[in-house]
Every structure is written in structure tokens, then in C-alpha cells.
Amino acid sequence: MATKVSVAHKVRDYDVWRPGFDDHAAVRKQHGLTNAEVYRGADDPNNILVVLDAPSREAVLGFIADPSLKTTMDNIGVISEPTVVIGEILAAQPA
């Protein structure tokens, strides 16, 4: 089964956060996380949702445990505790 992970958090300033997020792509890739989709809140552009593909739950947990993640999040202005949901795709709905 395919695995998806979503991460929601609030940032101090999206324009500061985004380049740091993009710079951390190599670390995400090392853990097998790909196809990052980034969403901003319609009412608050500093509310961020990131959805990624992952090879497994274990890969996501490895990424979360990577020491560079906390450092990067601190440096780019993440100001809330992230909410992480790891899900397995069961079936896609037809259009």
C-alpha cells in the first residue's frame, strides 16, 4: 500500500519559511519522502499543510527523528507543534 504523510503547522512568516523548506528537500528525499504538496490557509497564509508520498510508515518516522528537521524548523520559523498524520491509501475515489 502507498503511504501518505500530512504535516500541519503554523509559521511566523511564509516567505521566510518556504525557502528553508525547499532547501531541506534533499533530507526528505534521503528518507524517501517525495512529491511534496504545500498548501497555505485561505484565511491565514501562515497556516501550512504539507502532504508527501512516503515508501512506508518507518520512512516517515525516520525523517521525523532526523536531527536536522528540528533545527531547520526552528531556523525557518515554525511556531506551533506540527500535527503529523501517516496514512495508507486504501482506494482512490473515481472522479
Q: Does residue 50 contact residue 37 with C-beta atoms inside 8 Å? A: yes
User: Is the whole-model pTM more than 0.85?
Assistant: yes
The predicted-structure confidence for 18-64, as pLDDT tens digits, reads as follows 999 999 999 999 999 999 999 999 999 999 999 999 999 999 999 99
The ranges assigned to domains in the chain are 3-77
Stretch 68-74: mean pLDDT: 96
Closest to 89 (Cα-Cα) out of 6, 26, 8? 6
Concatenating the DSSP letter of every residue in 20-87 gives HHHHTHHHHHHTT-EEEEEEE-SS-TTEEEEEEEES-HHHHHHHHH-HHHHHHHHHTTB-SPPEEEEE
Which of 45, 29, 48 has the alpha carbon at shortest distance from 37?
Answer: 48
Q: Quickly name the fold that domain 3-77 has.
A: Alpha-Beta Plaits (3.30.70)
Q: pLDDT above 90 covers what percent of the chain? A: 89
Angle at 68 between CA 60 and CA 41, to 5 degrees: 65
